Amino acid sequence: MDAESAGSVKDSIAPLIEITGITKRFPGVLANDDISLSIEKGEVHCLLGENGAGKSTLISILSGMTRPDAGTILIEGTETEINSPRQALDLGIGTVYQHATLVPTLTVLENLILGNTKGATLDESEGRRRLDELASILGTDVDPNAVAGDLALDEQQVIEIIKALWKGKTALILDEPTAMLAPAGVAELGKMFQRLKAGGLAIVFITHMLHEAIEMGDRVTVLRQGRVAGSIGPDELRSEQSERLRDRIVEIMFGSEATELGDVAELHVDVLEDHPDQGSLEKATSDAGGRSIGAPILKLDNVSLEASPASHGLHNINLTIAEGEILGIAGVGGNGQAELAEVLAGQRRVDSGQIHLLHDGNLQRIDRLGVHARGQMGLRYVSDDRRGEATVGSMSVSINLVLKKIGDAPFWRWHIMQAGEIQRNAESAIENFDIRTPSADTNISKLSGGNIQKVILARETMSNPRIVIHNKPTHGLDVRTMLMVRERIRQMAAEGVSAVVISNHLEELLDLCDRFAVLSKGRVIGIVENGPDAERHIGDLMVGGTVS
């Protein structure tokens, strides 16, 4: 954004960026489904929506990282194809990504002029001039010689914004810029938005926090399942009370209860038609209640993990889970869910606090025990990282089924592998969990995501589980496998096996769980019992409400 052009006013009738009918399909997912929206000069346009609603795909199309399958992009009325990030920059569209893109060992100035070489040399004096100019527009002080890695997170973000604005005369796109910021940093960012807006720049900004959208946005668009679910224009945003606006947005985001239940009901009917013999699926539509819930089986006392640049950590988590209970962990992804799962599984040591597990009739302290010991006591973990962590892709299905039992009888005797036992174990898992694989010896990486999930589920639940941590158990699965996984969790709960279910999908948690703990920035900010009002309560907590 040049200082001169900063003073220009809206002169044309056509919107700055107008996208029409954008559709993008990835294998198995329709990420963007006929999305149309317009981005105006001098406006902050907020994109809201659940994880997987298609926000990130949309901005990666705008920033030239992804090409749409269909649809057009008009920039100031001219149809334009954005084929690469470089082209997006040349069009004046700068993007600040969720992950850091600064080289930590270089100085601020070096980072900024890195991508803007003229010939073979770096033009330092020109870079300094541009940096001063942008810093004054943003109203901040920037030390060009500071090493990027030494800066605090919010300072680094300012540099990321300056980097995106370097050639960005048209639009600035930010993917969840407030996720890692403290409230003061968010306020500072809001001020910067005001200054940039005044200069005629368009800002597109993704957030999960409703109050940020209401306070900082001029226009709000909500995406849901790849489609535009609704939008709120500038006039309404300015005139309406924030309480009312918030209710409206929550309704657009999660849908009213009626339509939600309607969809689920239809889905069950379809499955039953397909498999009339699976009458047990009928249970899936029934409520989660009606089970007897026993004594506490897992207890967390003030469990804490230090925060790090990449994580909020965990702060004084206190939770108790009863035998046969299904506890849901709700919240926007990246707020401590993975950390909680790993701490419970024994993959990560707590920094302070205690964890107790019911074993041999009394609660025993387990926070110093490893994965294997906890597994033998009946605590199991179904990781969400199916290919990256939960399985070894280059090894067979049968070995992956005993991966957490290396050295245990009957699969190993005197440290020697008992191939027959491992084979038998695999055959029974393949049979009982309907794992579609050419054979037990097939490399697990050749299986589909759903079948890998079945292997993991079989491994974690086959021999006497007491409590199972499920991290996003149905993420990316087709409908039938999804229902099978949910049914398995429910069935085990009926047999007294507790579960902790972490999910980004509220609908899934509402379907499965007896209680919910809502996580935000590594803290439990509320516990909600399942019931008619649960969805609204959780929705309120998730979008930055206070503890009710």
Give residues in contact with another protein (CB under 8 A).
Answer: 263, 266-267, 270-271, 274, 345-347, 370-372, 375, 381, 383, 385, 388-395, 399, 403-404, 406-407, 412, 415-417, 436, 438-439, 441-442, 448, 478-480
Nearer to another protein, 224 or 490 (CB): 224
Distance CA 319, CA 527 (A): 9
Distance CA 224, CA 47 (A): 11
Joined together, the tokens standing for residue 294 give 């026993």
Minimum distance of another protein from residue 258's CB (angstroms): 13
Give 361 or 438: the residue with its C-beta nearer to another protein.
438
Instruction: Give least dist CB 157 to another protein, A.
Output: 27
Nearer to another protein, 27 or 361 (CB): 27
Least distance CB 400 / another protein (angstroms): 9
Task: Give 106 or 267: the residue with its C-beta nearer to another protein.
Answer: 267
Q: Which two tokens stand for residue 72?
A: 């057009």
Q: CB 412 → another protein: shortest distance, Å?
A: 5
Residue number, 130 or 405, with CB nearest to another protein: 405
For residue 226, what is the DSSP state? Answer: T
In whole angstroms, give the CA distance from residue 76 to residue 15. 6
We find the least distance from the C-beta atom of residue 41 to another protein, in angstroms, to be 34
Rounded Cα–Cα distance for residues 58 and 68 (Å): 9
How far is the C-alpha of 344 from the C-alpha of 492, rounded, in Å? 19
Q: How far is the CB of 199 from another protein (least distance, A)?
A: 37
What is the C-alpha to C-alpha distance for residues 131 and 203, in angstroms, rounded to an integer?
20
Nearer to another protein, 166 or 254 (CB): 254
Q: Which is nearer to another protein, 3 or 265 (CB)?
A: 265
Which residue, 208 or 405, is less far from another protein as judged by CB? Answer: 405
The angle at the Cα of 184, spanning 178 to 189, to the nearest 5 degrees, equals 50
- The smaller minimum CB distance to another protein, of residues 201 and 435, is found at 435
Q: Within 10 Å of residue 45's Cβ, how many Cβ atoms?
A: 24
For the chain, the C-alpha Rg in angstroms (whole number) is 26
Tell me which residue of 216, 152, 146, 143 sits closest to 180, measured CA to CA: 152
- Per-residue buried b or exposed e for 384-417, using 16+ beta carbons within 10 Å of the residue's own CB: bebeeebbeeeebbbbbbbebbeeeeebbeeeee
Phi, psi dihedrals of residue 470, rounded to the nearest 5°: -110, 115
Nearer to another protein, 266 or 431 (CB): 266
Q: Which is nearer to another protein, 267 or 363 (CB)?
A: 267
CB of 267 vs another protein, minimal distance in Å: 5
CB 351, min distance to another protein, A? 18
**Sign for the pseudo-dihedral over CA of 362, 367, 371, 372:** negative
Using the minimum distance from each CB to another protein, give the nearer residue, 291 or 404: 404
**Shortest approach of another protein to residue 388 CB, angstroms?**
6
* 362 or 394: CB nearest another protein: 394
Sequence-ordered strand ranges (E) for 76-120? 78-79, 93-96
Task: State how far the Cα of 62 lies from the Cα of 55, in Å rounded to an integer.
Answer: 11
How near is the Cβ of 283 to another protein at its closest, in Å? 19
Specify the residue, 217 or 375, whose C-beta has the smaller distance to another protein.
Answer: 375
516 Ramachandran zone, left/alpha/beta (phi>0; psi -120 to 50): beta
Q: How far is the CB of 35 from another protein (least distance, A)?
A: 15
Q: Look at strands 467-471 and 29-39 and give their pairing.
A: unpaired
Closest contact distance (angstroms) between CB of 539 and another protein is: 20
As a whole number of angstroms, the distance between CA 466 and CA 375 comes to 9
> Nearest-CA neighbor of 465 among 329, 314, 358, 335?
358
- The least distance separating another protein from the CB of residue 232, rounded to whole angstroms, comes to 23
Phi, psi of 104 (to 5 degrees): -65, -25
**Of 387, 360, 400, 398, nearest in space to 376 by CA:** 360
Strands 219-224 and 44-48: parallel
Strands (E), 159-201: 171-174
Phi, psi at 321, each rounded to 5°: -120, 130
Sign of the Cα pseudo-torsion (472, 476, 478, 481, in order):
negative
Question: C-beta of 43: minimal distance to another protein in Å?
Answer: 31
